[in-house]
Structure formats: structure tokens, C-alpha cells
Structure 1
Amino acid sequence: MQIKDAIDRIPGGLMLVPLLLGAVCKTFAPDAAGYFKGFTQGIMTGVIPILAVWFFCMGASIELRSTGTVLRKSGTIVLTKFITAWIITLIASMILPSEGIQTGIFAGLSVLAIVCAMDMTNGGLYASLMQTYGTKEEAGAFVLTSIESGPLMSMIILGASGVAHFEPQIFIGALLPFIIGFALGNLDPKLRAFFAPGSVLMIPFFAFSLGNTINLHTLLSSLAGLGIALAIAVIVLTGIPLILADKYIGGGNGTAGVAASSTAGAAAANPLAIAAVAPQFAPAAPSATVLVAICIIVTSILVPIITGFWFKKFGPPKESNISGDDKISANKINFVD
């Protein structure tokens, strides 16, 4: 059976398929974890420790040897997405309570859902689109997007926006696995090679555990329409600044900006991870997880279509030379959807 190939054909499938399976378990067998206990219960409910291992491996996989055009392209995408998400979060924090909207047609919408949907680019989707529509530099520009993965950027944005106050030890505790992994991976290439596969290997495990916090009845409720609207907002509100940055800073024609206007698959884990260290977000975390999951699915479908239309309209960007070091570095960086 070609199970892996079938999963790979789904954008962000390595995250979305296990998450959906976990949600099925939660919906139709909500007491399964308590019934089986032991290791089965650990797999079904251990999203935080599994995330910690994934975050460590993610840090270990990042090698900042990229220079020149690839670094400029990567930095343009990451900084633009970060600044845009911060501005949107700042505005949303003036309107929405930290626990989110509880009633009405916008019930479930929260600052937590918005920041987690906005601040992470689907690196795998971006790289595959740029291999088809972009230049060598643009295809390699996923080199820094791994830094966005995990709750790090979301926590920084929430703190900078004044929405949340993280005690120093809590913030350090959330970052420590990533920092240690990053340090070890860059001090010893053999350690990086050893731990880096974990950044992909752990995805289905924390996705399944995360899915066990989602009831499909909620996913199919009024949150579906709200999630689709949020996904469109992600594409429009982050896509426009990304297009402008790509054209006027990155030297492209905007195609890379469109391709980066998605929500990363790993972003679905961020609401729960943030709520674990910032309890004020706990009431909003379940709905935020559902909304972000919908954003992942919708942006994974729409962004490739829009990117293709943009490419046909404005033509291929100019091909420019990429240095040997850039090629080597770009090929060595691991990324997750």
C-alpha cells in the first residue's frame, strides 16, 4: 500500500491526516485514552512533551550558513510575515478579549487564533511552488522559515503586542529546547544529522495527540465558516505585504510573496502550546486550534491556485545566479509544513 505517497499528495498531509485521525478518536471514542492508559494514553494526550522533543529537533536542524541572495530572500519572507502578523495582532488585541469572542457569529475568534494563523508560512508548500514558478534563490528561500516553527514567534508577537505577559523563566522554559537543539546542531554537524530527522518524524505524533483535543462536531459547526473567512484573511492580509516586499526588497515579481501567504501545518499545535504556559489563553485554545486547522487546509488549497494565476499574469521572475555556498546551505536546511 502506498500510504505515505497518498499522504504526501495532500498539502500539509503529514500534519493534517494524523490530526484528523486524532479528532475522529476524540469524537467517537472520547474516553479511549483513559480506558487504555499506559503508553496509548501517552500518545493520545502527550502533546506537550512530544512538542518539546519536536521543538528541540527543529532547533538542531537549522544551519545558518546561507549567505547572499538566499539569506536576503529568506529574511524578507520571515520578517515581513512576522511584522505583518504583529501589526494585525496589535489591532486585534484592541478589539478582542484574551479569552476570545464567546457568542454571536464570531464566537470562537480570538487573538490567539489570529496570531497562530498569521505568523507561520507553510515552508514545504512554499518550496514546492517555487520549484515550479520561481528562481533558484526563491526555491531556496525556505532556509529561515523553520525559525517560525513552534510557538516562539507567536509568543514574541503576543508579548510585544501587550496581549500576554510571559514570566522570564516561563519564556526561557518554552525556548530552551529549541535553543539547546540549535546550539548542539551548529556545534557538531554529526549531532545535527542525528537529530534533524526528528523535526519531521515527530510531526504525526504530536498531530495525532493534538487531534485528540478536537471534536469533529465543533469542526463542522459554525467555526467552519469562520475558519474559511480567517483563511482568506490570512492570504489577503499577509499576501499583499509579502508581494510588495518580494518586489521591492527581495527583487522578485511577487510570486514568492503569494506562495508564502499560507498557514503552516505545524501552526495547529501553537494554541495549545501557548495556553500551556499562558493560562489566560486556555479558554480560547480549543476553538483557536480548530480555526487554525481550517486555515491550514484552505490556504493549502487556495495558495497554489492563486500562485499559478499570479505567475501566468506577471510571467517568470528573472533568473539570477546563486552561489555555491547558498546552494549547499539551502539543500541542507530541513523544514516542516
Structure 2
Amino acid sequence: MKLLAKIPGGNIIVPMLVAMLINTFFPSLLAVGGPTTALLKEGNQAMMGLFLVCCGSQINFKQVGLPLYKGTVLLLLKALVGTAIGFLVGSIWGPYGVMGLTPLVLIAALTSSNSSLYVAMAGEYGNASDTGAISVFCLKDGPFITMLAMGATGLANIPWQQIVGMLIPLLIGAVWGNFDSNFRELCNKANPFVIIFMSFSIGAGSSLSTIVTAGMQGIILSVIALVLGVVYFFLYNLFLKKKTPLGVLLGTVAANSALTPAIVAAADPSLAPFADSATAQAATASIITMIVVPFMLSYFDKWLKKRVTPEKINTQTDFNTEVEVK
């Protein structure tokens, strides 16, 4: 676990790579049947249910005011822009996309962002209202937004039962977590464990050749996400009186976005041919953006301090007395 913590997105990337290695050189090893196959090769749907419960448990109904406002703005910016790009590519080039980037991977990656990095950086560059925004913003974790976006835009045929089935675990976690803080804490600690085994089971359906063929597209996807991070910086500050560099953090791609294509493809089998490459591309982009974005955040923090008066820069203050909304 200490080793995984040192690797960007290690809880997802490492188990997935190990599973790909096994499936490449010993494909029958995980097909022995019983609990082994059910957990390590076919367990991604059950693990996704647990993952959504854990995500839902972190939604705090008591976070109102600025945390709710900021979280909603961040969520809508990320979801709407990412969906619009995927829809545009799908409308012009179809399901195969352009430059090897399909609408599936564009929406899965560009509607996601690294929540852990956001919380860490919000604590350093923002205030309590910024940190509290994650209670709403975390809704973009997992495949729910991607499935909703692809179904609503007609890019995928997602049965309504699939969306409801994705929503129920979120609601279970949210309700239980808000009535029981111990359960919320348990889910927070259990989330990495669930992610490790979910990542392994998804990787077990792919091979190393996928990574080789998807490498360059992953880099292109990273560049797109990073450029959008600059756009988000300016867009987010349009909604705030006190300016903040934290909008740049929307330029990350979440490591768990690599898990989304397989889940969406399970709901719409016509997307199955694109799932493996999308998984590898999203995983590559998550690593690159996680490394680059903190440097971008530092740059825009200094940029703001040079151009904005101190009283208009978001600093460590109590959000209950802070008035920022236009």
C-alpha cells in the first residue's frame, strides 16, 4: 500500500496493469471458476456498486451556502463542457471519434477529475468552503455522469433501468452516510480497497497490447484536459467575487475514469469495441494530468496575486462569514 501511494493513481493503475499482464501471458489463470473468477475477472459490476455506495456516503446534506454553490458550479462546468466536447465529436465523426479518441473516452475522461488532489489543493490554496464543495462535486466520481450524458445525447443506448441501477447505490450511501458518520468514515477508508479489486477485474478483460496502441492518444487526451483546465480557471472565476486558482484543478482526469468505459459498455454492448482502448487512454491521461496540474495551480495562484487586489483573492477564511457570490 505504501508503494501504491507513491504512484499517481496507484490504486487503479497498478492492479489494472497486473491483471493485464496475467491476462496477456496466462489468460486461463483467472478462469478457474468459483470465487476466484467471480472476484478477479467478473467482479467489476459488484465492486462498482460498492464504489458508488462509498462515493454516495461522502455527500453531506448539511453542506449548504457557499460549499453547495461552489460544488454545484464545479460539477456543472465539468459535466457540461466534457459532455459538449464528446457530443460534438460524436456528431461529426461518429462513435469512432477522431485521432483515436472516441466520444466514450472523451466524456468519461473530461467529465471526471481527481477528487483527492482537489481536496488536498483546496486545503492549501482555498478555504473551508472550497474543501466543503467536494460533498457535491464528488457526484462526478464513477460512471453515473458519463452514462447520463451519453444516454441524454444519444451517443449510447442506455436503458433507464441502468441509470436507476447506478443511482440506487449512490442514494444508499448518501442516506446512510448522512445519518451515520461512522458509516461515512468506514466507506472513506474502504474505498481504496474496493477500487483495487474493481481495477483488477477490469484489467483482466484486456491485454498489454491495448496500452501500446493507446499511448499516444492518452497523451493527446491529457493535452486536451490541461488546456480545458486553463479555460475552467477563467470560467469558474466568473461565478465568484473572490477569485481563486482552484478552477485549474478541473483540468485533471480522474484515475477512476479508466474504470468507466467498461461499465458503460456493459450497459450498451455496442460500445464494447471501444472500451479497452478508452480504458488505457484515460489511465494515461490521469497520470499525466495529476503530475502537471499542481504546477499549473501554483502558476495561476501567483498570477492572481499579481493582478488581483488581496481582498478579492480567496484566502483561508470562515465560509459562514464569507460573501463571494455575485
Does TM-score exceed 0.5, indicating one fold?
yes
Displacement after TM superposition at 1:267 (Å): 0.9
1:132 to 2:124 alignment? yes
Task: Please give the residue correspondences for 1:209-288 in structure 2 after superposition, counting only pairs within 5 Å.
Answer: 209-221=201-213, 223-237=214-228, 239-288=229-278
Aligned to 1:42: 38
For residue 304 of structure 2, what is the amino acid of its counterpart?
Answer: F
1:30 to 2:27 alignment? yes
1:167 pairs with 159, 164, 170, which one?
159
SS of the aligned residue for 1:197 comes to helix
1:198 to 2:198 alignment? no
Aligned to 1:141: 133
SS of the aligned residue for 2:251 comes to coil
For residue 263 of structure 1, what is the amino acid of its counterpart?
Answer: V
CA contact 2:127–2:318 (8 Å) conserved in 1:
no
SS of the aligned residue for 2:161 comes to helix
1:179 pairs with 171, 174, 198, which one?
171
SS of the aligned residue for 1:301 comes to helix
How far apart are the structure 2 equivalents of 1:203 and 1:84?
27
User: Which deviates the most, 5-14 or 287-296?
Assistant: 5-14
Q: Which has the higher contact order (CA 8 A, sep 6+)?
A: 1
Residues 14-66 of structure 1 deviation map (CA, whole Å, 9 limit, x = unaligned): 222222222222233222112x4332222321211111222123223322211
Closer/same/farther in 2, CA of residues 28 and 191 from structure 1, 3 Å limit: same
Displacement after TM superposition at 1:207 (Å): 1.2
TM-score (norm 1): 0.85
Aligned to 1:77: 74
Closer/same/farther in 2, CA of residues 192 and 138 from structure 1, 3 Å limit: closer
For residue 317 of structure 2, what is the amino acid of its counterpart?
Answer: N
Task: Please give the residue correspondences for 1:53-132 in structure 2 after superposition, counting only pairs within 5 Å.
Answer: 53-98=50-95, 100=96, 106-107=99-100, 109-132=101-124
Aligned to 1:334: none
For residue 29 of structure 1, what is the amino acid of its counterpart?
Answer: F
CA contact 1:84–1:241 (8 Å) conserved in 2:
no
Structural RMSD (CA) = 2.4
Displacement after TM superposition at 1:293 (Å): 0.9
How far apart are the structure 1 equivalents of 2:231 and 2:69?
16
Aligned to 1:309: 299
Aligned to 1:289: 279
How far apart are the structure 1 equivalents of 2:25 and 2:200?
15
Residues 253-288 of structure 1 deviation map (CA, whole Å, 9 limit, x = unaligned): 351011221111111111000111111211111111
1:12 to 2:9 alignment? yes
How far apart are the structure 2 equivalents of 1:25 and 1:307?
38
Closer/same/farther in 2, CA of residues 286 and 133 from structure 1, 3 Å limit: same
How far apart are the structure 1 equivalents of 2:231 and 2:282?
21
CA contact 1:71–1:141 (8 Å) conserved in 2:
yes
How far apart are the structure 2 equivalents of 1:94 and 1:122?
28
CA contact 1:44–1:209 (8 Å) conserved in 2:
yes
For residue 267 of structure 1, what is the amino acid of its counterpart?
Answer: S
Displacement after TM superposition at 1:187 (Å): 4.2
The number of equivalent residue pairs is 315
Aligned to 1:319: 315
Structure 2: any 5+ residue segments left out of the alignment? none
How far apart are the structure 2 equivalents of 1:252 and 1:136?
14
User: Which deviates the most, 139-148 or 262-271?
Assistant: 139-148
Question: Structure 1 vs Structure 2: percent identity of aligned residues?
Answer: 27
Structure 1: any 5+ residue segments left out of the alignment? 327-337
For residue 87 of structure 1, what is the amino acid of its counterpart?
Answer: A
Aligned to 1:329: none
Closer/same/farther in 2, CA of residues 97 and 50 from structure 1, 3 Å limit: same
How far apart are the structure 2 equivalents of 1:267 and 1:163?
18
Closer/same/farther in 2, CA of residues 228 and 212 from structure 1, 3 Å limit: same
Closer/same/farther in 2, CA of residues 271 and 87 from structure 1, 3 Å limit: same
How far apart are the structure 1 equivalents of 2:274 and 2:242?
38
Closer/same/farther in 2, CA of residues 201 and 306 from structure 1, 3 Å limit: same
CA contact 2:58–2:135 (8 Å) conserved in 1:
no
Closer/same/farther in 2, CA of residues 141 and 251 from structure 1, 3 Å limit: farther
For residue 41 of structure 1, what is the amino acid of its counterpart?
Answer: T
